[in-house]
Structure 1
């Protein structure tokens, strides 16, 4: 069966290392778990893991402060130029055209550690903030090579080391915040119980009342990881992002005009959403 998760999700869809999984929605012990189960029924239930850790780190950096529509072409262009002969053979461009000859060693970290910053910036320009991101990617690639010996050993560290240690090491990297670190732990390391919090998850969890209205990203993560079983956190994260794109948007959630238009209306506290007046505010600004 075809993977229903779209390629533009940060996990990479069918190519992102995820695999279909089955869960029983009737066993939900918390409202947050019930929400995640419903999202799974709407979209997909998967477990994650298996993405190359360094590539996953780079992909997530490219996604920062921009849309998937913008970051996906940047990732594809980066991999075509720097990702080695395997990536080039899968591309539509002639072999060797527009690629870095050092990519033949197959180690993405080693190649990017020696990349020309201006050339990398031009390669990833569709992602926005390309000068800043190119500098960060090169610096992190150099750190990965110095500290771990390259992409393969870094991948092993992410998969095998204590998750708290991995998260701490990732957060020490310039430009890597909690969401980026958690995405690497989830999609590369396959770590259960990790629920990355992006802008969609942050908004939806507070709007639905799954976390305090004034919770920051880390507090939202703590509440959800407390209330959702570890094996459901992965698809809960990606499916909630899709729900945020389709239904619970920032400015005009589906329930604003039609309460029955949202498939999760019965689970939502509508914090900051006022259908009677048509107003929508950040949950933190909603009167108690």
Structure 2
């Protein structure tokens, strides 16, 4: 355990939510020891009420505890579209190039709504799927301009309206899925209780037994949001992604090197992992074989 949040590592720059432009503020103070004790359902002493909360508390100790919010909503939407089906390391240069070309001294939504697709595709080529993503971004920019008038007005909508209304509105936009909508709610809207589910969170939650092994992304989100206090969902999401990159990888999770290699092994059901053979399968495949 660390003695305080100042000793935790900074969020990596190559992270849709992290780095200097990622927004979010460190939560002051220390976290109670998250390891469950007997009668851990009783939270009067600060012990976590669920295993999922205990996992998130441990992740907060390992990495960071931050309260998110403050990103410009339309830029956050664009940034998340760029990150789809690619790494943050690849999407970050695309975001930077897009902002340099279309965001300086202009309303970003208006500028992108008027962009030539081949020019935008070239600008964001490092993100992959650039033809599809450029088409989506121009279409979304046009809708934002038509319905809200500007990126600033869209930002006010995201930050002031009821979260369910904002989420439903975003999901009605072609090219915006649940993870993208939740990222906008969290990183722009600063809404507590939102736990976006990407491929890392989807894998880890089912592998650890925090959600059913055959749960889809929405079912994982519902399970975690029901089990983790709202104020812990934001950093739980970003820290779980980092844990997935460093320890609980898709093909070779750290536990294959022995229990001591994974700091969260005591919380994990290891669904789909055979330590003896070294075989790793998707947790859903375990259910299918039963």
Is this a same-fold pair by TM over 0.5?
Answer: yes
Could you say which residue in structure 1 is the equivalent of 2:39?
none
Equivalent-residue separation in structure 1 for 2:144 and 2:198 (angstroms):
25
Could you say which residue in structure 2 is the equivalent of 1:33?
53
What CA deviation, in whole Å up to 9, does each residue of 1:176-207 have, x standing for no partner?
00000000000000000000000000000000
Classify the secondary structure of the residue corresponding to 2:20: helix
Equivalent-residue separation in structure 2 for 1:57 and 1:12 (angstroms):
15
Could you say which residue in structure 2 is the equivalent of 1:42?
62
Equivalent-residue separation in structure 2 for 1:194 and 1:4 (angstroms):
21
Answer yes or no: is the 8 Å Cα contact 2:59–2:240 preserved in 1: yes
Which of 73, 76, 79 is the equivalent residue of 2:93?
73
Answer yes or no: is the 8 Å Cα contact 1:211–1:220 preserved in 2: yes
Could you say which residue in structure 1 is the equivalent of 2:184?
184
Q: Give the superposition deviation at 1:7.
A: 1.5
Q: How does 1:239-254 map to 2 (within 5 A)?
A: 239-254=239-254
Equivalent-residue separation in structure 2 for 1:17 and 1:71 (angstroms):
17
Answer yes or no: is the 8 Å Cα contact 1:62–1:71 preserved in 2: yes
Q: Does 1:11 align with 2:31?
A: no
Could you say which residue in structure 2 is the equivalent of 1:263?
263
Equivalent-residue separation in structure 2 for 1:136 and 1:12 (angstroms):
24
What is the TM-score of this pair, normalised by structure 1? 0.91
Could you say which residue in structure 2 is the equivalent of 1:137?
137
RMSD of Structure 2 on Structure 1 (CA) = 1.2
Answer yes or no: is the 8 Å Cα contact 1:3–1:13 preserved in 2: no
Q: Give the superposition deviation at 1:8.
A: 1.3
What CA deviation, in whole Å up to 9, does each residue of 1:124-180 have, x standing for no partner?
001111001001100100100110111001000000001001001101111100000
Equivalent-residue separation in structure 1 for 2:146 and 2:161 (angstroms):
18
Equivalent-residue separation in structure 1 for 2:13 and 2:76 (angstroms):
14
Could you say which residue in structure 1 is the equivalent of 2:71?
51
What is the TM-score of this pair, normalised by structure 2? 0.90
What CA deviation, in whole Å up to 9, does each residue of 1:88-123 have, x standing for no partner?
xxxxxxxxxxxxxxxx3x310010010111000000
Count of aligned positions: 268
Answer yes or no: is the 8 Å Cα contact 2:9–2:63 preserved in 1: no
Equivalent-residue separation in structure 1 for 2:275 and 2:9 (angstroms):
35
Equivalent-residue separation in structure 2 for 1:202 and 1:65 (angstroms):
14
Unaligned segments of structure 1, at least 5 residues: 85-103
Q: Give the superposition deviation at 1:16.
A: 1.6
Equivalent-residue separation in structure 1 for 2:264 and 2:171 (angstroms):
34
Q: Give the superposition deviation at 1:81.
A: 0.8
Q: Give the superposition deviation at 1:3.
A: 6.9
Q: Give the superposition deviation at 1:27.
A: 2.9
Equivalent-residue separation in structure 1 for 2:101 and 2:250 (angstroms):
36
4+ residue runs of structure 1 moved beyond 6 angstroms? none
Equivalent-residue separation in structure 2 for 1:273 and 1:188 (angstroms):
37
Equivalent-residue separation in structure 2 for 1:257 and 1:47 (angstroms):
34
Equivalent-residue separation in structure 2 for 1:17 and 1:62 (angstroms):
18
Q: Give the superposition deviation at 1:12.
A: 3.1
Q: Give the superposition deviation at 1:257.
A: 2.1
